[in-house]
Amino acid sequence: MDLGLSGKVVLVTAASGGLGFAIAEEFASEGATVVVSARNPDRLDAAVEAIREKTAGVASAVVADMTNADAVENMVRQTCDEFGGIDVLVNNTGGAATAPFIEMSDDDWRAATEVKIIPQIRCAREVFRTMIERGSGGRIVFIAGTHGRQPHAHAITAGFCNAALQNVSKALAEDGAPHNVLSNVVNPGPFATERMVYLAQEKAVEDQISLEEATAILADETVLKRYGDPRELAALVAFVASERANYITGAMFDIDGGQVKAL
């Protein structure tokens, strides 16, 4: 299936590893020009090299800390200056730290917003502005998470952040519609990434069980009884951002092996 992504300029944030890297690699394999962003320059350079080797696609890097407003503005400006604009933003960030609810202070909750909610809002705002000015439409895909729809005590800050981003994306879809800027959310469930290792470690400590037991419990929350492969998520994100999805905006997609039980 031709997704119509060849030649599109795609900015993927937090893409030096994990889900972000898999997404960037998928877009490059579809012929898109991919700009990846992350804080660590060494990991970012390695990611770009790997994408080029695996896909023979065009990949570039911009070092940026998403918690820094100036860095986000520079990332967007540099991408637009080099490639003429941004067709797709995959709005990805790292996850917030978690702990038992009673142990979390006001500062912990503020930190969660600064790690995930504010950076994605900030990035979407900067890219949205350039898409409107350019006048050729665009796609914004927020990477949130299933805990925004199915709260979990072991990931309470994640659920809080994800629910906020789901709300923002829905509102942005309405704002962007007159400009053909489509906004959607993809909600990953348990995937084989460093983030899930962290959540399993926290669960193991809190429940006083082994890491292996905690990992098995989290995988067992899905009806498929396994963690997802990041490439499975990447395929969905590419479709949602593609010309095949021109009538999809304000939507939310769970990719979680059947973890979420709500309709």
pLDDT tens digits, residue range 160-211? Answer: 999 999 999 999 999 999 999 999 999 999 999 888 898 899 889 989 999 9
**Residue 97 and residue 111 in contact, taking contact as beta carbons nearer than 8 Å:** yes
Tell me what pLDDT residue 131 has. Answer: 98
Q: What is the percentage of the chain residues whose pLDDT exceeds 90?
A: 89
Measure the CA–CA gap between 17 and 194, rounded to whole angstroms: 9
What residues form DSSP beta bridges with 215?
A: none
**Residue 240 and residue 187 in contact, taking contact as beta carbons nearer than 8 Å:** no
| Residue 216 belongs to domain spanning | 192-227
**Residue 200 and residue 211 in contact, taking contact as beta carbons nearer than 8 Å:** yes
Q: Please report whether residue 259 resides in a domain.
A: no
Average pLDDT value for the chain: 95
Residues of the chain where predicted confidence (pLDDT) is lower than 70: none
Nearest to 99 by CA among 202, 200, 194: 202
Assess whether 216 and 135 both reside in one domain: no
Measure the CA–CA gap between 206 and 208, rounded to whole angstroms: 6
Assess whether 66 and 127 both reside in one domain: yes
Looking at the structure of the chain, the number of domains it has is: 2
Q: Please report whether residue 262 resides in a domain.
A: no
Question: What is this structure's pTM?
Answer: 0.95
Assess whether 150 and 37 both reside in one domain: yes
Tell me what pLDDT residue 23 has. Answer: 98
Assess whether 198 and 130 both reside in one domain: no
Assess whether 137 and 176 both reside in one domain: yes
Measure the CA–CA gap between 213 and 215, rounded to whole angstroms: 5
Q: Please report whether residue 60 resides in a domain.
A: yes
Tell me what pLDDT residue 155 has. Answer: 84
Q: Please report whether residue 249 resides in a domain.
A: yes
Assess whether 166 and 217 both reside in one domain: no
Any idea of the CA torsion for 94, 234, 120, 151, to the nearest 10 degrees? -70
CATH number of residue 180's parent domain: 3.40.50.720
**208 exposed, middle or buried (CB, 10 Å; 0-12, 13-18, 19+)?**
exposed
Assess whether 90 and 207 both reside in one domain: no
Instruction: Note the pLDDT tens digit of each residue in 72-86.
Output: 999 999 999 999 999
